[in-house]
Amino acid sequence: MRGVTIKALWGGWLLLGVAMMASSLALAVDDWPRTFTNVDGSETTIPGPPRRILSTSVTITGTLLAIDAPLVASATSANGHFFDQWEGVAQERGVQRLWPAGSVDLETAYAVEPDLIVVSASGADSALAQVPSLQAIAPTIVLDYGGQTWQSLARQLGEASGLEDQVDAKLAEFDDYLAQSRYKISVPEGEANIISYNGPGAPNPIALSDGVHGQLLQALGFTIESPAREWQSDANSAQDFVRAQYEYLTQMRAPTTFLLSAGDERAAAFLDDPILANLPSVQAGQVYGLGANSFRIDFFSATEVIDGIVERFGANHDDDRRRSVQ
């Protein structure tokens, strides 16, 4: 009798497991097709979970890789290359290189046989004008990576691809890494500013405190000096930066300066610039490069920036000039 009871219990558990699996599969099926709202307010119907994603935006590609999306092909930067911070990952996953930013080859796109195409609404890698033609190949979604964090972009891509759980896991992993890194460093006294230093005769973009670079460094404990918005040198509305003319750099007051797309060599050039000699950060000798890949922030470049900050401001860094981040 006891054996029959155990057998019956096992049978019941098996049936319960099958029922739960069937219910889970039914819920997954019920999620599709789904409707994705594009940045321009139009809608794209996605019939099922994508298995072959084509990215026409090299900037968005980094976030697709970060969330382990089934990316099979991507446009490149204007020079025909992927971004350095994730090029190795793309090679490992066999991502096919397509056309350089600024051009679209529809025959090549068709040959890839994508089941979802991703387009940026703005930027040098935008294929917005080709959306009607791309829609004839596969469902096409349009996003705008400008003025938002890679985390926000990841959530939108997760919604379109059905990878919400993977996105949540990646964001939690990154937040944990950020918190651990903040605990390891001592931050310089006073504010810091973030500059894309191009010298005289060109705009020198300065990061806004609420832009993606400002948010990243503030999460590490820095207080970011924001430029005056009226310094904007062109008609483009400020999102992450104010594109200031060179002479406005002399009005920055923070005792620490970080330079975008820069290493120690570029920092040395900034320190040696005679026009900037009276800047508090130059006077203090606190000018640092954020790294060669720091201009466009995605998961990979953000991690590089964090690692560089930890290396420079870690526990062994000149404690008597630092205040600890609690």
The predicted-structure confidence for 170-200, as pLDDT tens digits, reads as follows: 999 999 999 999 999 999 999 999 999 999 9
Q: What is the pLDDT of residues 103-123, one digit of tens each?
A: 999 999 999 999 999 999 999
- What pTM was computed for the model? 0.87
Domains of the chain: 34-173 (3.40.50.1980), 185-324 (3.40.50.1980)
Residue 233: the pLDDT is 80
User: What tens digit of pLDDT does each residue of 109-166 get?
Assistant: 999 999 999 999 999 999 999 999 999 999 999 999 988 999 999 999 999 999 999 9
Banded model confidence at residue 1, pLDDT cuts 50, 70, 90:
very low
Secondary structure, 3-state, the chain: CHHHHHHHHHHHHHHHHHHHHHHHHHHHHHCCCEEEECCCCCEEEECCCCCCEEECCHHHHHHHHHCCCCEEEEEECCCCCCCHHHHHHHHHCCCEEEEECCCCCHHHHHHHCCCEEEEECCCCCCCHHHHHHHHCCCCEEEECCCCCCHHHHHHHHHHHHCCHHHHHHHHHHHHHHHHHHHHHCEEECCCEEEECCCCCCCEEEEECCCCHHHHHHHHCCCCECCCCHHHCCCCCCCCCEEEEEHHHHHHCCCCEEEECCECHHHHHHHHCCHHHCCCHHHHHCCEEECECCCCCCCHHHHHHHHHHHHHHHCCCCCHHHEEECC
Residue 285: its pLDDT value, please? 98
